[in-house]
Amino acid sequence: MGKLKAIIFDVDGTLADTERDGHLVACNEAFERMGFDIRWTWEEFKELLKIPGNARRMRLALSARTSLSEAEIDRIVPELFALKKELYLKRVGELPLRPGVRRIIREAIDRGVRLAIVSVTDEDQVRALLNAQLPESLGHFDPILGKQSGEKNGALYAECVAKLGCDASEVLVIEDSEKGFKAAKEAGLPCAVVYNDYTKGQVFSRAELVVRSLEPLDLDLLEKLCLG
């Protein structure tokens, strides 16, 4: 048995390419169904990804691009986000996992390495994605800490490690963004960054590993490179 006892995955952009083909499409459809002339391009949405959470992004769009009062926006945003969530959940079966993810997860399960999630995404959406793309692995992800568990920061990662019952040196975080990477580092956790089209070029200094894809890696190599 190696030193690696658990892997904590981020979701959006790490487990799967959910942003462009999932969240963006669902947001635009929700705007349209509720009668708002707002349609984000992928370029616009990539910039908005710096703001955590689609409810916040939708609130900003309504403030900037409609004449609604703050009180009206407060009333509309929960309904708009609920519709967006419903539309996203219908699309999760069409959102493929990123290369190498399925194999790494299968190797972890076979080796008895625990799996967990820390994400800014609604936990129902996380479970729906796992159920659609990794149904045989869903039960192995515990805990799943998403939007309902609080802000994604070092404290949330520390909470996840405590729930796993592991030492920080035995846990590997897999992230795709500078913000997520920094949260993992705040908790003193080793972190492998698997960047994508919209996080490429962000600052990942002090990451144990920075790669474009998990495809060329296996669990033994990940452990060797990241936990030494």
pLDDT computed for residue 1 by the predictor: 47
Helical spans, DSSP H, in 90-212:
101-111, 123-133, 154-164, 178-186
User: What gap in Å lies between CA 106 and CA 8, rounded to an integer?
Assistant: 14
pLDDT computed for residue 196 by the predictor: 93
In a 3-state reduction of DSSP, which class is residue 21? helix
Q: What are 90's strand-pairing partners?
A: none
Name the token pair of 221.
């190599």
Give a yes or no: residue 193 inside a domain.
yes
- Listed residues 93, 120, 148: the one ending a domain: 93
pLDDT computed for residue 51 by the predictor: 87
Is 12 in the active site?
A: yes
User: What gap in Å lies between CA 41 and CA 43, rounded to an integer?
Assistant: 5
Give a yes or no: residue 102 inside a domain.
yes
Same domain, residue pair 25 and 13: no
Check: CB of residue 130 under 8 Å from CB of residue 14: no
Give a yes or no: residue 12 inside a domain.
yes
Edge-to-edge, what's the strand order for the sheet holding 6-9?
Answer: 141-145, 114-118, 6-9, 171-175, 191-194, 209-211
Give a yes or no: residue 28 inside a domain.
yes
Q: Which residue do the tokens 């967006």 mark?
A: 84
Give which of 137, 136, 141 is closest to 8, Cα–Cα: 141
Q: Residue 167 sits in which domain range?
A: 6-17+97-227
pLDDT computed for residue 50 by the predictor: 85
- Which CATH number does the domain housing residue 110 bear? 3.40.50.1000
Same domain, residue pair 85 and 165: no
Q: What are the pLDDT tens digits along the chain (228 aa)?
A: 479 999 999 999 999 999 999 999 999 999 999 999 999 999 999 999 888 889 999 999 999 999 999 999 999 999 999 999 999 999 999 998 999 999 999 999 999 999 999 999 989 999 999 999 999 999 999 999 999 999 999 999 999 999 999 999 999 999 999 999 999 999 999 999 999 989 999 999 999 999 999 999 999 999 999 997
Is 10 in the active site?
A: yes
Give which of 173, 212, 215 is closest to 194, Cα–Cα: 212
Give a yes or no: residue 1 inside a domain.
no
